[in-house]
Amino acid sequence: MAEVVKKISGFPELLPRDRKKENLLIHSINNTFKLFGFEEIEVRAVESISSLLAKGETSKEVYLLSRLQNPEVDLTSSKQLGLHFDLTIPFARYVLENCGKLNFPFRRSSIGKVWRGERPQEGRFREFLQADVDIITQDNGQSSQDVLPNSNDIEIVKTVGKALEEMQKLGLPKCQIHINNRKLLQSAYRIFGIKDYEETLRTIDKIDKIGSDEVLNVLIKNGESNESATKCIELANIKTDSVTILENSLREVFGGDYQKLEGVAELSEFLESGINSVVVDLKIARGLDYYTGNVFETFVDGFENYGSVASGGRYESLTASMQENSKVSYPGVGMSIGVTRLMALMLTNELFICNEESDTDVLVLVNDQNSYSDSQKVCDLLRNAGVSSFISPVCSKFGKQIDFAAKRNIKHVVFIGDNGLSVKNIVTGNQIDFSSDDIKSYDDFNKITSSLN
């Protein structure tokens, strides 16, 4: 039965030293989300299948659940459960379920696992961690833009931009957030006379992969006119961080029809908001179909081919399919950072710049079998002062015990010497005696050990 310990493709697991790095990323993201006033919630791993399939062509990605005692799957039952494949649909359901108890606009953050039952490719996972922020509100009849102004979209991009910027301290290169607007695309395609909006969107999305020429061919093969298709590609190739260039480029493409374009004001506001590393990029489309306004993708400088590491957009009717004839809607805007994807990128390319020191401050050495309880007292003393420590599991010469500390990347050992207690920095080899009265707090420990560096 050796196969039970075989790695399962697409389900990454980390060794302790790499998990420590992932925890640093998660901690950093959480801090930024908190700094920006988001409230953290956690959603359950499962949703009803009707909820999961309510929107978008994501059916192929769902893992279904059944009980071992009764392993039947019933796709027609509302009780059929599946694992969520993103944190947005469960969030929409959570908001509907708890709408009476939430304060709108509700600023939520969630860092959690999602699952996709697809065949894994390189850089793709079947279980992965996402970090989401959303601002969602309750709308009793006004249009989304009035109820939730574009400043919220800017706030989301600002939050994720800051989170990514903070991650630079851990070694992530600079990132650039690319913005487009579905309303702009929709109005543009109307002006161009595009017949199949959805299909054209999907085709344009491949422009980086297959190139403009091939996209043109596909669009024409799909029944669009040469002129319309050419215009689509001209539009898709507009990319700028300047409002003036954006407007001039659009005027060039649309001429007198420029005034009929929607969404330009929203995009311009982003460029005027002073957020770093934001660029309007009119070929960004996003696969899932619930976005209705701005859409976002994010690329890592020097690793553009790795694909987007943080994506999202504005949605107006995400909860609609979960409601019964309701006049209340919940427009929102959100973004999702692909934490597992970032981890994979940073590990593979050895980008992390954090130190490898253990979170454990001290290994307490054991003099001999009979003095274990003395070592235990030393360990208790350190822990009471907030100094993380444990007793050496190796009861032999100090050298071997220090070897164990070195393998675990523990920087200090403490032992009972001739003059009472001693602490040794095993990297520098420096050591100093101290009295048990000297260590009442972590600061005391820091003061003593800083002299050993």
68 is a site residue for a copy of itself (CB under 8 A): yes
Q: How far apart are CA 436 and CA 451, in angstroms?
A: 17
Q: Contact, 306 vs 124, CB < 8 A?
A: no
429 CB contacts (<8 Å, ≥6 apart)?
none
81 is a site residue for a copy of itself (CB under 8 A): yes
Q: Pick the closer one to a copy of itself by CB: 210 or 328.
A: 328
Q: Pick the closer one to a copy of itself by CB: 15 or 255.
A: 15
Q: Segment near a copy of itself (CB under 8 A), from 38-46, 203-211, 215-223, 426-434?
A: 38-46
63 is a site residue for a copy of itself (CB under 8 A): yes
Min dist CB 277 to a copy of itself, Å, is 16
Q: Segment near a copy of itself (CB under 8 A), from 59-67, 234-242, 297-305, 444-452?
A: 59-67
Min dist CB 109 to a copy of itself, Å, is 10
Which has the closest alpha carbon to 414: 441, 448, 370?
A: 448
Q: Pick the closer one to a copy of itself by CB: 20 or 231.
A: 20
Helices 264-272 and 243-254: crossing angle, nearest 10°?
160
45 is a site residue for a copy of itself (CB under 8 A): yes
Min dist CB 179 to a copy of itself, Å, is 18
Which has the closest alpha carbon to 115: 81, 159, 75?
A: 81
Q: Pick the closer one to a copy of itself by CB: 15 or 429.
A: 15
> Which listed residue (101, 121, 140, 437) binds a copy of itself by CB under 8 A?
101
Per-residue mark of binding to a copy of itself, 321-340 (x: CB under 8 A) = xxxx----------------
Residues of span 143-172 touching a copy of itself by CB under 8 A: 151-152, 155, 162
Q: Pick the closer one to a copy of itself by CB: 323 or 422.
A: 323
Residues of span 397-436 touching a copy of itself by CB under 8 A: 404, 407-408
Q: Where are the beta strands (DSSP E) in 353-410?
A: 362-364, 389-391
Which has the closest alpha carbon to 150: 53, 241, 275?
A: 275
Min dist CB 358 to a copy of itself, Å, is 8
Q: Segment near a copy of itself (CB under 8 A), from 30-38, 163-171, 303-311, 420-428?
A: 30-38
Sheet holding 431-434, edge to edge: 389-391, 362-364, 412-417, 420-425, 431-434
Min dist CB 3 to a copy of itself, Å, is 4
Q: Segment near a copy of itself (CB under 8 A), from 92-100, 180-188, 208-216, 257-265?
A: 92-100
23 is a site residue for a copy of itself (CB under 8 A): yes
User: What single-letter DSSP state applies at residue 213?
Assistant: H
Min dist CB 325 to a copy of itself, Å, is 10
Taking CB atoms within 8 Å and a gap of at least 24, the contacts of 268-274 are 268/243, 269/150, 269/151, 269/154, 270/153, 270/154, 270/157, 270/179, 270/294, 271/241, 271/242, 271/243, 271/246, 272/243, 273/154, 273/158
Find out whether the peptide bond into 16 is cis, omega within 30 degrees of 0.
Answer: no
Which has the closest alpha carbon to 166: 289, 24, 291, 308?
A: 24
73 is a site residue for a copy of itself (CB under 8 A): yes
- By DSSP bridging, strand 362-364 and strand 310-315 are unpaired
Q: How many residues make contact with a copy of itself (CB under 8 A)?
A: 94
Question: Residue 333 region, left (φ>0) first, then alpha (ψ -120 to 50), else beta?
Answer: beta
Q: Pick the closer one to a copy of itself by CB: 15 or 122.
A: 15
Continuous segment of H or E residues that includes residue 156? helix 150-167
Amino acid, res. 420: G
Q: Pick the closer one to a copy of itself by CB: 97 or 433.
A: 97
121 is a site residue for a copy of itself (CB under 8 A): no
Q: Where are the beta strands (DSSP E) in 88-155?
A: 106-115, 127-136
Q: Pick the closer one to a copy of itself by CB: 228 or 319.
A: 319
354 is a site residue for a copy of itself (CB under 8 A): no
102 is a site residue for a copy of itself (CB under 8 A): yes
Q: How far apart are CA 391 and CA 376, in angstroms?
A: 7
287 is a site residue for a copy of itself (CB under 8 A): no
Q: Segment near a copy of itself (CB under 8 A), from 74-82, 179-187, 290-298, 344-352?
A: 74-82
Q: How far apart are CA 262 and CA 445, in angstroms?
A: 62
Q: Segment near a copy of itself (CB under 8 A), from 203-211, 249-257, 317-325, 413-421?
A: 317-325
